[in-house]
Amino acid sequence: RFPKVPVLPGINTTFIGIQEQHGIFTEECQGCGNCGLATFGAICPITRCSKKLLNGPCGGSQNGKCEVNANIECAWQLIIDRLTQLGQLSNLRTYIPPKNWRTSISGGPRKLIREDHII
């Protein structure tokens, strides 16, 4: 729209996360466009599970730590603990179909069309 106007990044977003403490940030969301936080007790397995598993733990974690990296908490242990605390562990009885990656950034640039806003 404005071919002669330079574009300057304002924040250089590399991930959506939280600040654990000064200088330490943890990724909480990959903006995949297909959010399941309500199912998983507000812990995203796409972001937090090293294997991005949607239907339960891989079975390789030990003492609540991920088998991929022992410095990472097992996302599925966190999910199970949180759902137990919320009394919603039955959420895990529902099969989650394979992820629709077309809604994610890795599927190419996303475009949202709001028909109700088009003039």
Per-residue pLDDT of 100-117, as tens digits, reads 777 776 665 556 678 888
Look at residue 4 and tell me if it is in a domain. no
Q: What is the mean pLDDT of residues 25-49?
A: 86
**Domain, as residue range, for 82:** 16-95
State yes or no: pLDDT of 22 exceeds 70.
yes
**How much is the pLDDT for 117?**
84
Look at residue 61 and tell me if it is in a domain. yes
Question: Based on the structure, what is the number of domains in the chain?
Answer: 1
Look at residue 101 and tell me if it is in a domain. no
Look at residue 80 and tell me if it is in a domain. yes
The alpha helices in 8-105, defined as continuous H runs, are 45-48, 75-86
Please give the residue that has the higher pLDDT: either 44 or 105: 44
pTM (two decimals): 0.74
What mean pLDDT value characterizes the chain? 84
Which tokens go with 77?
Answer: 């242990």
Look at residue 118 and tell me if it is in a domain. no
Look at residue 88 and tell me if it is in a domain. yes
Residue 30, classified by CB atoms within 10 Å of its CB into exposed (0-12), middle (13-18) or buried (19+), is middle
* Whole-number Å distance between alpha carbons of 99 and 97: 6
Which tokens go with 27?
Answer: 């990724």
Look at residue 106 and tell me if it is in a domain. no
Look at residue 102 and tell me if it is in a domain. no
What's the pLDDT band for 11 if we cut at 50, 70, 90? low
Per-residue pLDDT of 77-97, as tens digits, reads 999 999 999 999 999 998 988
